[in-house]
Amino acid sequence: MTIALRNFVDGAYVDGVGAFDKISPVDGQVTATVHEAGRAQVDAAVAAARRALDGPWGRTTVGERAALLRRIADRVEERFEEFVAAEVRDTGKPVAQARQLDVARAVANFRSFADTVSAHGLDSFLTELPDGQRALNYAVAQPLGVVAVIVPWNLPLLLLTWKVAPALACGNAVVVKPSEETPSTATLLAEVMAEAGLPAGVYNVVHGFGPGSAGELLTTHDGIDGVTFTGESATGSAIMRAVAPAVRPVSFELGGKNAALVFADADLERTVEGLARSVFTNTGQVCLCTERVYVQRPVYDEVTAGLVARAAALRLGRPERPETTTGPLISVAHREKVRSYLDLAREEGAEVLTGGGVPDLGADLAGGAWIEPTLWAGLDNTARTLREEVFGPVAALVPFDTEEEAIRLANDTRYGLAAAVWTRDLERGHRVAQRMRVGMAWVNTWFLRDLRSPFGGVGLSGIGREGGRHSLHFYTQPTNVCVRL
C-alpha cells in the first residue's frame, strides 16, 4: 500500500513542488509518495517558526514547556505501535529493535529533556571591585531562535527527537528536514505535536533531499538562527559553507570509524557478545558502530573465531519475523557503496573471514538492499578500508602486542566519535579510555547511554556536544545582566 507523506507547515499538512517515491529497502516496493518542499514551503515554514517565536510560544515558561514535552512523550507512547510501524516501513529494521531502541528512546528523549530543563540554572556572581563598586551579574537564557534540524536515516525518530526535544525545551521553533529515505516518523510526530498542544509554527517539517532541494534551501535560508545536523562529515562541511556568510552557529554529529580494543585479560564471552552488538546492530548503520577491532595477540584467534560464529548466527529477513536479527541496508544505492568496500578490501589484500557479498534471500527479497555481515583479517591501518567510514555490518580484525600500540592504532584516524575498551583490569580500562581521542569511550560495554552525559565527536566526527545541559548550551543564548548595587 502506498501512502502520501506531506510537509507540515504552520500547523497544517501542505503539498510540495513535486513528489518522489520512498522505496522499501526490504523488497524494493514503493511504500510512499513524498511531497518535496520547494522554496515556497521552506519560506513558509521559516516564517511560521518566526511568527510562533514572536507569539505566545515565545512567552511560555520553562514549567509549561517541560509539561508539554511530557505530554508529547505520553502521546508517542500511546501511539507507540504506529511509530514502530512507520520506522520499520521506511528502514526495514527488525520490529523488535524499533520497539526497544528507536521509539523507546524517542519517548525517553522528551522526558529526559523535560527533567534537564526543569533543573537547569545559570551562573550569577556578586561582583566586588577594589574601588568599592558592587554589582550583581546574572545570565538569562534566551532561545537560539528558528533552528534548522537536519537528520539522517539510520535512527530517524531517535535522532530527530534528540534535537527537537531540547530545542523545544529551550523555547525555540524548529524546521525539520528528515532524510529523504525516512520521511515517515517526522511526519507522524507532527500529529502528536498538535495533539499535545504545541502551537502552530513551532514544529515544521519540510521533505526533500540535500543539495538543490529542501536541505540546501533551509541551511542557506536567511531566516534561520542556527543548524543542528547529524549525518556524514562531508555534508557537515557543505552545511558549514552554507551558514558561513551569515556566521550562524552549528551543532554537528558526524561520521565515525570507531575502534574496539580487546585486551588479553578481557572476559572473552562478554567481549565477543559486545563486539558483535557493536559491529552488527542496525546492520552496522549506527554512527557508534565498531569498524576496527584491535585484539591483543594471545586472544586474537579466539576472539576472531567467536566473532565469526556470531556473524554466522545472524538471521537476515523480513522485519516482522521474530527470528530476524538483521535488516537490509537503507537503500540499494547505499548497498552499492558498502559493496564497493567489500571489493576494495579484497583489492587491499583482506582475508574475508565471513560474508563478503550480497546474500540470496529468494525472489521475494531480491529487490531489497541486502548485504552479508562481513569480517576481514590481514589489513592494517594503511588500508582505505580501515580509514574510511563504510556504515555497514563490517569490521576488520587487527592484532596488537602492547597497550601503547593499541592506543596508537585506535587514535590513528581523522574521525573521533567513539571507542570501546575490553579488559578485566579496570585500571587499564580507565587509563586507555581516557587516552582515546574521541567524544565517547566505553569500558566493557558499548552504546550504553545516559542521556545527561555529553555526546559528540572530535575531528571529522563533529562539533559540539549534545545531551543534558550540553544540548541546552546550543539551543540557548545567554544574556548577561549586570546591575550596579
Considering the complex, state which of residue 107 and residue 239 has its C-beta at the smaller distance from ligand NAD: 239
Identify the helix (H) or strand (E) that includes residue 429: helix 426-434
Sign of the CA dihedral running 74, 77, 78, 83: positive
Does 215 contact ligand NAD by CB under 6 A? yes
Does 217 contact ligand NAD by CB under 6 A? no
Cell of 381: 591501518
Contacts of 237 (CB under 8 A, 6+ apart): none
Among 92, 183, 210, 319, binds ligand NAD (CB under 6 A): 210
Considering the complex, state which of residue 344 and residue 458 has its C-beta at the smaller distance from ligand NAD: 458
Does 391 contact ligand NAD by CB under 6 A? yes
Q: Give me the least distance between CB of 262 and ligand NAD, in Å please.
A: 23
Contact (CB, 8 A) for 219 and 148: yes
Give the β-pairing of 30-36 and 3-5: parallel
Does 290 contact ligand NAD by CB under 6 A? no
> Binders of ligand NAD: how many residues, by CB under 6 A?
31
Does 399 contact ligand NAD by CB under 6 A? no
**Stretch binding ligand NAD (CB under 6 A), from 33-41, 104-112, 119-127, 175-183:** 175-183
Angle among Cα 237, 243, 244 to the nearest 5 degrees reads: 85
Contact (CB, 8 A) for 442 and 215: no
Among 255, 306, 355, 399, binds ligand NAD (CB under 6 A): 255
Cell of 188: 507522524
Contact mark string toward ligand NAD, 416..435, x via CB under 6 A: -x------------------
Alpha-carbon distance of 102 to 111, in angstroms, equals 15
Q: Give me the least distance between CB of 162 and ligand NAD, in Å please.
A: 8
Alpha-carbon distance of 315 to 325, in angstroms, equals 5
**Stretch binding ligand NAD (CB under 6 A), from 27-35, 92-100, 172-180, 428-436:** 172-180
Considering the complex, state which of residue 179 and residue 423 has its C-beta at the smaller distance from ligand NAD: 179
Alpha-carbon distance of 399 to 393, in angstroms, equals 20
Nearest Cα residue to 144 out of 105, 186, 172, 111: 172
Sign of the CA dihedral running 32, 21, 339, 215: negative
Residue nearest to ligand NAD (CB): 210
Considering the complex, state which of residue 8 and residue 400 has its C-beta at the smaller distance from ligand NAD: 8
- Of 253, 372, 389, 466, the active-site residue reads 253
Does 388 contact ligand NAD by CB under 6 A? no
Does 179 contact ligand NAD by CB under 6 A? yes
Q: Distances in Å between the alpha carbon of 37 and those of 185, 217, 457?
A: 17, 9, 31
Instruction: Return the biggest CA–CA distance within the chain.
Output: 85
Considering the complex, state which of residue 97 and residue 235 has its C-beta at the smaller distance from ligand NAD: 235
Contact (CB, 8 A) for 423 and 401: no
Among 230, 271, 290, 423, binds ligand NAD (CB under 6 A): 230
Considering the complex, state which of residue 210 and residue 399 has its C-beta at the smaller distance from ligand NAD: 210
Does 328 contact ligand NAD by CB under 6 A? no
Q: Give me the least distance between CB of 177 and ligand NAD, in Å please.
A: 5
> 60: burial class by Cβ within 10 Å (0-12, 13-18, 19+)?
middle
Contact (CB, 8 A) for 350 and 378: yes
Could you confirm whether 64 is annotated as catalytic? no
- N-terminal to C-terminal alpha carbon distance within the chain: 69
Cell of 443: 569500558
Does 163 contact ligand NAD by CB under 6 A? no
Considering the complex, state which of residue 235 and residue 413 has its C-beta at the smaller distance from ligand NAD: 235
Q: Give me the least distance between CB of 152 and ligand NAD, in Å please.
A: 3
Cell of 83: 511509530
Nearest Cα residue to 395 out of 319, 448, 449, 338: 338
Contact mark string toward ligand NAD, 114..153, x via CB under 6 A: ------------------------------------xxxx
Among 141, 160, 250, 254, binds ligand NAD (CB under 6 A): 254
Residues that bind ligand NAD (CB under 6 A): 150-154, 159, 177, 179-180, 209-211, 215-216, 219, 230-232, 235, 238-239, 253-256, 287, 389, 391, 417, 457, 462
Instruction: Give catalytic residue positions.
Output: 253
